[in-house]
Structure 1
Amino acid sequence: MGLTNYALEQMGFERIPSNLTIEARFQSINVYEARGIVSDKNEPLDPALLKKTDDGVSFSIGDSVNDLCQILAGDNFADDEEKWRAEKKATPPYLLVLTEAPEPVQCVHGYWKQANDEIITYDCFTEAKDALARLENKRASVVVTALTVLLSNEQKPVFFVPVAREVFAETNLGKRLRDFRPEFSAEGYGSSPIVTAEAAERIESALQLSRSLHPKVGYFFGLAIKEKDRLKKFLYLFLVIEIHTHQTFKGLDYSRALSELHVLPDRIANSAADFYIDRQKEAKNLTQRFMWCSILSWREVGDNDVRDFKAIKRIRDRIYHGEEVIEETLPIAEAQSLATKLMRCIQMHSHMASE
């Protein structure tokens, strides 16, 4: 239930004049704490050099949310950054992702109030904000997923933990319109130092990877890193593995890989090749497809990864069959590690193909 008109008026809101149209182009800023990396003391991360823009999404990494926000949006994120850090218990470096709606929207009725250079409206742009959230899920989540993959390695994974989200808009009245929603998270982790040049190289690779990932992979990975419920987080991560496996399987080049895997007798080489290809194409279940992808495409995947996959899948199957599982024991770290490794194989494959 929303606030009553009386309550809004007591808070300083008033009806938007009947002869006034507010036109606004909405943007969102998502702030993530980058866990697993720290800015090098001798060469701090330079957010201006790390800024990237692609398909309506801009992002950068740095040690100050206000510096990042100035670079991406031309304004501070927090009035007092030190106080903000203390309230959020957030530790740099941060990733800021700015998502911009493609078209402006209009509001002609509702409640508003003006403060200095800002306009605050009450529930006037619900559809616009919902559309922006869908755009974040479609595009921004893929960018965050790709950054997670390219900044992580098997020994030291990187996690982007959501800290805050702000929705705002530039209006036709020359003022900014705002909507703010914070989020919190806390986990243990270790970090490795990173310098601007290394971060820039990985960010560029992540941008390329984001264009190769299936949209649903980024969507479910984005849901996973924001999810606090361990069961849901685990299932989201498994969906990432499952969708990525099926997508990779569809693109396997059996004929090209066959000569590397089998020595076929010349007397029956063509028929034998057809036989192997037919058997591979008949793979229907996820485990079979995971194995073929591991054999033919994912060159970084080894026996330990296959064992991890089978163990993770057994737990997923138990959940789907209605069996009781202890949420505290769910292998979430292992599932995220495997998911990021499989997605990183796209980058490895593209590098090998270009050489």
Structure 2
Amino acid sequence: MILSKYAIEAMGYEEFPETDLIEVHFGILKAYSIRGMVFEQSCEEKISGVVSLSERCTIAIAQSINEASKLLTEDIFADDEEEWISDKKANPPFLLIYFKERVPRGLRGGYRREKDGYIYTYDAFPESKTEIREWESDVLPGIVTALTVKLSTLERQIKFIPLERSIFGKTNDGITLFDLKVTGSSSAYISCPKSIDKINSSLESARSLLPVLTKDVCRNFYEALNEPDRMKQFLGYFQFIERYTHSTYKSLNYNDNAKATFNVPGRINESATKFFERIFTDSKNLSQRFHWCAIIVWKNIEENDVNYFLELKKVRDRLSHGEHVEESELPVGRAKKLALKLLGADQT
């Protein structure tokens, strides 16, 4: 909806001339509640360290959303934190992900108002959101996936509940500017106590996992995390397993990875090597490649996991062939657990 000049000014905004220039460095804060994890009672300060996932992206976990925000941005997140928590029906601890754009943006004129030491603009930077949107689409799924894996265990899985998405900027004078603020709503579980050291270690481990979690590899896992439909959940986790298997297999080659698994007799070394190499390179289907990855790369995958995979594949194949499978019978939990294990989630 496009508002008239009168309506915008009625909201308290004043139109500034084109000669008035403000340079603003924009960023975005993504706030989540963490379900399934709490700080250990012995923790004096219930806040993690700041972990840099890239040059322009940092994260922190805290009992207080404002303490996490001050750690990342040097500013509070909510004027009244208790009221904000009540409105969101949220529970701590909270995860904050902060991404800052590469270059500052210039605002000439436009509608602005100042209140409580902040500058507010009305839809003044529509073109400046491109980099933020691309980051949310391309990079954020890998971040949430990596954090889910490293803060979960196979038996105690955590879940991130999206609470709020806040886009804001900082002027050269250090004043915070808000141009757009979009909010969302949060929707019996057992929470696992974690120490500060364990949380910091998990955040660092998540950073090391990010390089393998490309958008194509992890998008199905990411979409399944907050998907209420069990059929879509199952297919999402299985499609992740499928994509991750193919991606891992394609990173392997016979001489460097597979050759050592064969005990080739010296007396027929050349012909036997060609024979086994052909078996390896001719592995085209998912089951073959899953077995190769389990043999060569995935050192934590055991016999039961391979059997579980084969059972999951049978269910997926039945669905692909149009057979009816009751949603209540879909092995969603098993599919998610196998996906977590492939990515290195702790056993307990």
Fold conserved between structures, TM > 0.5: yes
Deviation of residue 293 (structure 1)?
Answer: 1.1
* Structure 1 residues 169 and 37: alpha-carbon distance in aligned structure 2, compared to 1, 3 A threshold: same
Partner of 2:52 in structure 1? 53
Would the alpha carbon gap of residues 173 and 71 (structure 1) be closer, same or farther in structure 2, given more than 3 Å must change?
closer
Q: Which residue of 2 aligns with 1:93?
A: 93
Tell me if structure 1 keeps the 8 A contact 2:36–2:158.
yes
Change (3 A) 1:137 1:224: farther
| Residue aligning to 2:241 | 241
Q: How far does residue 203 in structure 1 lie from its aligned partner after superposition? A: 1.9
Runs of at least 5 residues in structure 2 that lack an aligned partner in the other structure: none
- 2:25 touches 2:104 (CA, 8 Å); kept in 1? yes
SS at match of 2:18: coil
Structure 1 residues 48-197: aligned runs within 5 Å: 50-55=49-54, 56-108=56-108, 110-172=110-172, 174-178=174-178, 179-186=180-187, 188-197=188-197
Supply the AA of the counterpart residue of 1:181.
V
Number of equivalences: 345
Q: Per the alignment, in what secondary structure is the counterpart of residue 76 of structure 2?
A: coil
Distance in 1 of aligned mates of 2:63 and 2:78? 14
CA contact (8 A) 1:37 1:192 kept: yes
- Whether 1:204 aligns to 2:238 is no
Greater share of helix residues, 1 or 2?
1
Question: Which string of whole-angstrom CA distances, capped at 9 and with x for unpartnered residues, describes residues 72-105 of structure 1?
Answer: 1111111221222222222222111111111112
Query: Against the structure 1 CA distance between its residues 199 and 10, is the aligned structure 2 distance closer, same or farther, given a 3 Å change threshold?
Result: same
Q: CA separation in 2, counterparts of 1:323 and 1:183? A: 37
CA distance in 2, matches of 1:322, 1:22: 59
Query: Does structure 2 conserve the Cα–Cα contact (< 8 Å) formed by 1:119 and 1:175?
Result: yes
Deviations 1:125-161 (A, max 9, x none): 2232232132133334323322221222211122222
The Cα shift of 1:168 comes to 0.8
Which one is further off, 273-282 or 8-17? 8-17
Residue 351 of structure 1 is matched in structure 2 by: none
Distance 1:258 1:212, change over 3 A: closer
What residue in structure 1 maps to residue 277 of structure 2?
277
Q: Distance in 1 between matches of 2:17 and 2:333?
A: 53
Deviation (angstroms), 1:329? 5.6
Q: Distance in 2 between matches of 1:69 and 1:157?
A: 25
Residue in structure 2 matched with residue 265 of structure 1 by the alignment: 265
Give the fraction of aligned pairs with identical amino acids, expressed as a percent.
36
TM-score (norm 2): 0.86
Q: Which residue of 2 aligns with 1:286?
A: 286
Going from structure 1 to structure 2, the CA distance change for 1:27 and 1:258 (only over 3 Å counts) comes to closer
Pick closer, same or farther for the CA change 1:172–1:223 going to 2, 3 Å.
farther
Partner secondary structure for residue 21 of structure 1: strand
Task: Name the CA shift for 1:87/1:331 in 2 (closer, same or farther; >3 Å).
Answer: farther
Write the deviation string for residues 1-32 of structure 1: whole angstroms up to 9, x where unpaired: 33343432322233332222332211111112
Higher mean displacement: 215-224 or 78-87 = 215-224
Contact 2:18 2:110 in 1 (8 A): no
Taking structure 1 as reference, are residues 331 and 117 closer, same or farther at Cα in structure 2, changes over 3 Å only? farther
Q: Kindly indicate whether the alpha-carbon contact (under 8 Å) linking 1:99 and 1:136 is maintained by their aligned counterparts in 2.
A: no
2:9 aligns with 9
Match of 1:35 in 2: 35
CA contact (8 A) 2:231 2:330 kept: yes
**Residue range with higher mean Cα deviation, 291-300 or 225-234:** 225-234
CA distance in 1, matches of 2:309, 2:120: 49
The match for 2:298 is 298
Does the 8 A contact of 1:162 with 1:225 survive in 2?
no
Could you list the runs of 5+ residues in structure 1 that have no partner in the other structure? 349-355
Deviates more, 1:82-91 or 1:304-313: 304-313
Q: Specify whether residues 242 and 174 from structure 1 end up closer, same or farther in structure 2 by C-alpha distance, changes over 3 A only.
A: same
Cα drift, residue 319 of structure 1: 5.5
Q: Which moved more, 1:319-328 or 1:94-103?
A: 319-328
